[in-house]
């Protein structure tokens, strides 16, 4: 499912991004995903909206070296932020647990910590939506 461009596009639609371009390329026993998105900033606190603007570009890149582990980076071109980490999948009973460990940095004086916290919330929200879409996908709702 995670290596299916149609699934990734469905997640982008559910997240209500302004635009997206999903590229998925098989690599050995894994794959590379690049999801170049323009995301809305409606609903963000004013301090963050001043920083981000009306929309913000985010490039999600996943490099899966196998069927169960990979790296994740999320770039925000032109912004002094970075997000990078790992993704692992672990079979658990009848299901699979996806674990994402992500280091989030915002190099902005005074509000960097607030931005990092907000970015973490946004990533969690996106992962919750991906989980919901994934549950529907696995039920055959495509």
For the segment 6-30, what is each residue's pLDDT rounded down to a tens digit? 999 999 999 999 999 999 999 999 9
% of the chain surpassing 70 pLDDT: 100
Whether 95 shows a pLDDT value over 90: the answer reads: no
Q: Which pLDDT does position 48 carry in this prediction?
A: 87
Number of domains in the chain: 1
Could you tell me the CATH number of the domain that includes residue 102?
3.30.530.20
Cα 72 from Cα 102, distance rounded (Å)? 8
% of the chain surpassing 90 pLDDT: 84
Q: Which pLDDT does position 47 carry in this prediction?
A: 86
Residue 16: inside a domain, yes or no?
A: yes
Whether 93 shows a pLDDT value over 90: the answer reads: no
pLDDT tens across 99-128, in order? 999 999 999 998 999 999 999 999 999 999
Mean pLDDT over the full length of the chain = 94
Q: Which pLDDT does position 98 carry in this prediction?
A: 94
Whether 74 shows a pLDDT value over 90: the answer reads: yes
Residue 69: inside a domain, yes or no?
A: yes
Residue 54: inside a domain, yes or no?
A: yes
Domain interval for residue 38 = 5-136
Tell if the pTM clears 0.95, that is, is over it: no
Residue 142: inside a domain, yes or no?
A: no
Whether 49 shows a pLDDT value over 90: the answer reads: no
């Amino acid at each position: 499912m995670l290596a299916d461009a149609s699934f990734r596009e469905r997640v982008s639609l559910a997240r209500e991004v302004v635009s997206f371009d999903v590229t998925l390329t098989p690599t050995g026993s894994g794959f590379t995903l690049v999801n170049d998105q323009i995301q809305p900033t409606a609903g963000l606190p004013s301090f963050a909206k001043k920083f981000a603007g009306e929309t913000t570009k985010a490039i999600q890149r996943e490099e899966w070296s196998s069927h169960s582990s990979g790296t994740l980076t999320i770039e925000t071109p032109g912004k002094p932020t970075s997000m990078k980490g790992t993704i692992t999948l672990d079979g658990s009973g009848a299901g699979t647990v996806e674990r994402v460990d992500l280091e989030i940095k915002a190099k902005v004086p005074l509000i960097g910590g607030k931005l990092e916290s907000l970015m973490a919330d946004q990533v969690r929200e996106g992962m919750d939506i991906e989980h919901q879409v994934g549950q529907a996908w696995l039920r055959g709702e495509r």
